[in-house]
Amino acid sequence: TSVNSGKIAVNGVHLHYQRTGEGEHPVLLLPGMLGSGETDFVPQLKSLSKKLFTVVAWDPRGYGHSRPPDRDFPLDFFERDAKDAVDLMKALNFKKVSLLGWSDGGITALIAAAKYPSYISKMVIWGANAYVTDEDERIYQGIRDVSKWSEKARKPLEALYGYDYFAKTCEKWVDGIQQFKHLPDGNICRHLLPQVQCPTLIVHGEKDPLVPRFHADFIHKHVKGSRTRAFNTWWDCSIQLLCEDHLLRPEGPTQKLKFHQAPQKWLLRAAAVPPERLPWQIDLSTMRAAWCLREQQLRSEMPSPDSPRCLAGLHLMPEGKHNLHLRFANEFNKLAEDFLR
């Protein structure tokens, strides 16, 4: 089917959105800074299954075609976007939705999932950060002046906004995001992460020049729905917990000791798994082989035999940069579809 667009009054502004597909499962796409449906999500609007999903891409207030008003960045701008996003989907009559949030849109998605838990089914986020560090602040300064952006990143936004609004709003964004640096721990939404209950898939591009890996790790660690997974099998569960906690590395020197301390911890963390089925007896070499296999699975598109569906958690894309959903659209779309399904 084709992509329709509309505008609807929400919270005192007119929000613009695009909509496509006739599936039962509503999915909202949330763009990054200065972003919009048409600049950020063309491959998702085109190729995410129209049978499974009804896909909506929104332009947050002040971005894309949700203007006027001009964009501003009060300290609560992410909270405001989260409420706008949820209220938009309610205004469109969706009873419950899943979220795909990129970068700033990922932050918005996290806040929406924490504050409106009964309205969010599942969530995929990538390129998001829950707080601001000195390193982030340096990166922000580097993108403040849009005339220094690459042609490829600049073109679509310049076409959408015209140079002046684009340049001015980017500077305002940098000022806006730097406000968080003055809060304790550079907090944007760290305090909300433990409230996120929905199954959450965090995708991270290992070559992302804007968002360092520690941000993805931090979100993964603190979002309940990312740690407590819908495991398909006890085996998958135990292997994944092992890998993540670095309890066992193929070449690690203290692996034996750590390995034998580990089962208690799994038992507690994997409470959904019948205790008699936990792999108490698995020897070290079996475990090592399993670790290597799992590592391969995480890095390939091949579904593993015992976990045919993509699980909640942290998924790394070795070649992915910040725009991994555009550059590797097929791989990303498949990952998201398998997870939401």
- Give me the least distance between CB of 209 and ligand TYC, in Å please: 9
Q: Does 139 bind ligand TYC (CB under 6 A)?
A: yes
Tell me whether residue 167 or residue 311 sits nearer to ligand TYC (CB atom): 167
Question: 192 in the Ramachandran plot: left (φ > 0), alpha (ψ -120 to 50) or beta?
Answer: alpha
Among the listed residues 66, 103, 200, 255, the single contact to ligand TYC using CB under 6 A: 103
Which residues are marked as active site?
103, 208, 322
- Select from 87-95, 135-143, 154-162, 310-318 the region that touches ligand TYC (CB under 6 A): 135-143
Q: Does 140 bind ligand TYC (CB under 6 A)?
A: yes
Site string for ligand TYC, 181-210 (x = CB under 6 A): -----------------------------x
Question: Exposed (0-12), middle (13-18) or buried (19+): which is 281, by Cβ within 10 Å?
Answer: exposed
- Select from 57-65, 136-144, 286-294, 300-308 the region that touches ligand TYC (CB under 6 A): 136-144
Q: Does 63 bind ligand TYC (CB under 6 A)?
A: no
Among the listed residues 26, 32, 176, 320, the single contact to ligand TYC using CB under 6 A: 32
Count of all residues that appear for the chain in the document: 341
Among the listed residues 33, 130, 146, 312, the single contact to ligand TYC using CB under 6 A: 33
Q: Does 110 bind ligand TYC (CB under 6 A)?
A: no
Asked if residues 128 and 101 have their Cβ atoms less than 8 Å apart, the reply is yes
In three-state secondary structure terms, 230 is: coil
- Helices 284-299 and 255-269: crossing angle in degrees, nearest 10, is 70
Q: How far apart are CA 134 and CA 301, in angstroms?
A: 35
Q: Does 82 bind ligand TYC (CB under 6 A)?
A: no
